[in-house]
Chain A
Amino acid sequence: MEYAFEVNALRKEYPGFTLRDVSFALPRGHIMGLIGPNGAGKTTFIKLMLNIVRRTAGDIKIFGLDSLAHEEEIKSRTGFVLDETPFYGYLKVDGVASVIAPFYKSWDGARFNRLCREFELPFRKRVNSLSRGMKMKLALAIALSHGAELVLLDEPTSGLDPVFRRELLERLSGLIQDGRTSVLFSTHITSDLERVADYITCLRDGDLIFSAGRDEVLEKWAVVKGATELLAGETAKLFRSINRGPYGFTALAFDKEEVRRRLAGRGVVIERIRLDDLVFFLGQEGRQEKEAARE
Chain B
Amino acid sequence: MFKILRLEFVFNRRQIFIIMAMFTAYFAYMAYQIDSPRIFVVTMSIMIGLSMPFIILGREDRFKTAALMCSLPVRRTTIVLGKYAATWGAIGLGLGYAFLFKAVFPFSKFSIGEILTARNVLVSLFLISLIVTVILPFTIRFGLTGIIILLVSGQLLGILVLILTQALGGAGNPMRFFFRAVESGLRTLLTRETPPGFHLTLVAAIVAVNAASLFISRALYARRDL
Contacts and interface: CB of A to CB of B under 8 A. Distances in A.
B225 A99 contact: no
B72 A100 contact: yes
A91 B10 contact: yes
Interface string B4-41: 00110011001000000000000000000000000000
B67 A95 contact: no
Q: Which of B3, B7, B67 lies at the interface centre, i.e. has the most chain A CB atoms within 10 A of its CB?
A: B67
Interface string A82-101: 10101111110001001110
A77 to B, nearest CB: 8
A132 to B, nearest CB: 14
B63 A89 contact: yes
A100 B68 CA distance: 10
Contacts of A91: 10-11
A75 interface: yes
A86 B3 contact: no
Contacts of B66: 86
A86 B10 contact: no
A50 B68 CA distance: 10
Contacts of A90: 11, 14, 63
B226 interface: yes
A89 B10 CA distance: 12
Given A86-B65, A91-B11, A72 B226 contact: no
A51 B70 contact: yes
B225 A52 contact: yes
A73 B72 CA distance: 10
A50 B6 CA distance: 23
B170 interface: no
A88 B11 contact: yes
Contacts of B64: 84, 86
A102 B73 CA distance: 10
Nearest to B10: A99
B13 to A, nearest CB: 9
Given A87-B68, A99-B6, A72 B74 contact: yes
A86 B70 contact: no
Contacts of B7: 99
Given A82-B68, A84-B64, A104-B73, A54 B223 contact: yes
Contacts of A99: 6-7, 10-11
B70 A82 contact: no
Contacts of B67: 47, 52, 82, 84, 86
A209 interface: no
B71 interface: yes
Nearest to B70: A52
B1 to A, nearest CB: 12
B75 interface: yes
A103 B65 contact: no
Contacts of B223: 54
Nearest to B224: A54
Given A72-B73, A82-B68, A53 B63 contact: no
A284 to B, nearest CB: 30
A102 B11 contact: no
Contacts of A87: 63, 65, 68
Contacts of B6: 99, 102
Contacts of A170: none
A82 B71 CA distance: 9
Nearest to A101: B3
Contacts of B14: 90
Interface in B63-110: 63-68, 70-75
Nearest to B11: A88
A71 interface: yes
A66 to B, nearest CB: 14
Given A47-B226, A53-B226, A90-B11, A103 B72 contact: yes
A82 B10 CA distance: 22
Nearest to B222: A54
Interface string A239-264: 00000000000000000000000000
Interface of B: 3, 6-7, 10-11, 14, 63-68, 70-75, 222-223, 225-226
- The 10 nearest A-B residue pairs measured at CB: A75-B73, A76-B73, A53-B225, A86-B64, A103-B72, A99-B7, A102-B3, A86-B68, A52-B226, A50-B71
Interface of A: 47, 50-54, 71-76, 80, 82, 84, 86-91, 95, 98-100, 102-104
9 contacts: A52-B67, A54-B222, A75-B74, A76-B73, A82-B67, A82-B68, A87-B63, A91-B10, A99-B6
